[in-house]
Amino acid sequence: MLIRIGYDITVRLLAPTAVIYLLRVHPSRSRDLVLPENFRTQPELPVEVYWDKFDNLCGRLSAPAGDVRFLNEAVIRDPGELDDYAPEAVQRDVQELPVETLLFLLPSRYCEVDSELADFAWKRFGTTAAGWPRVQAICDFVHGHLRFDYQQARADRTALEAFRERVGVCRDFMHLAITLCRCMNIPARYVTGYLGDIGVPPAPYPMDFSTWFEAYIGDLWHTFDARHNCRRIGRIPVARGRDAADVPITMTFGKVALKNFSVTAEELDSSSVGALADFGKIRTNAVG
């Protein structure tokens, strides 16, 4: 399966400022790019590329006051398979976990492991079979406990606040599920990326970047999604971190307003695939 991905984002800066962004396909999927990312800014600005401590591909630029537009298009190959399903995946004791996973057991900006959620988690999920069944039980709870509502989006809502308010958007579902997993000594990390409406009815709202989370069980990171609470096709990760604070799409160091935001993630039809194949031949011949 081939998926077209990309975005067109414009921010208005009220003064010259530095901008950090996480807007490139995660390095773990870079080899799947059939047509490489065509990332650019308008106006054209020098970009410093770097990798953060979570191995995300990041960029930093110095932007003038006014509108700055971020654009990207690419085509990526995907297996076209549903998220993995491993009900036999076991949960390791903390002393047996790889040390690199321990960071994802700790409290973070939006995930208050050291709160009333810890007592709730043990009371609610303490008798659930450890491992995959426990993570799925957490997803089932969060999916039913929170009401999805774009109009109630709030950038500073924490997992505990989402638990109390019982409403939120994708990030709130993931923050609460991640926190409950960590309370149960299951490493969990936040993921942002592309997720088109492939194999499901189209969503009744504009396309956006999506979020999900990964739990470390069965000695692997497995994908879970407390918002949709079902296995999906075509997740393309952009960035991973402890929570949303680690993976901002853009972060500015001055006043900013969002002027335009559109995201593309769609399966290519057979005619498009044929045209892409012809383009690949032309490009190969040109190189040869």
Tell me the domain boundaries of the chain: 2-80+248-287, 94-233
- Strand-pair category, 188-194 with 167-168: unpaired
Q: Which residues contact 205 (CB under 8 A, 6 or more apart)?
A: 150
CATH no. for 94-233: 3.10.620.30
pLDDT tens digits, one per residue of 60-115: 999 999 999 999 999 999 999 999 999 999 999 999 999 999 999 999 999 999 99
> Residue 214 — very low, low, confident or very high, per pLDDT cuts 50/70/90?
very high
Percentage with pLDDT > 90 across the chain: 88
Q: What is the DSSP string of 249-288?
A: SEEESS-EEEEEEEEEEEE--HHHHHHHHHHHHHHHHHH-
pLDDT tens digits, one per residue of 155-200: 899 999 999 999 999 999 999 999 999 999 999 999 999 999 999 9
Residue 160: CA atoms inside 13 Å, Cβ hemisphere, count? 15
Question: Which helix (H) or strand (E) segment is 137 a member of?
Answer: helix 132-145
> 217, 201 in Cβ contact below 8 A?
no
Phi-psi category of residue 141: left, alpha or beta, with phi > 0 → left and psi -120 to 50 → alpha: alpha
> Is the pLDDT confidence value at 247 over 70?
yes
Domains 2-80+248-287 and 94-233 share a fold: no
Q: Which residues contact 6 (CB under 8 A, 6 or more apart)?
A: 38, 71, 72, 73, 74, 263, 264
Q: What is the pLDDT of residue 204?
A: 81
- Strand-pair category, 66-77 with 40-42: antiparallel
> Residue 205 — very low, low, confident or very high, per pLDDT cuts 50/70/90?
confident
Tell me the CATH class for 2-80+248-287: mainly beta
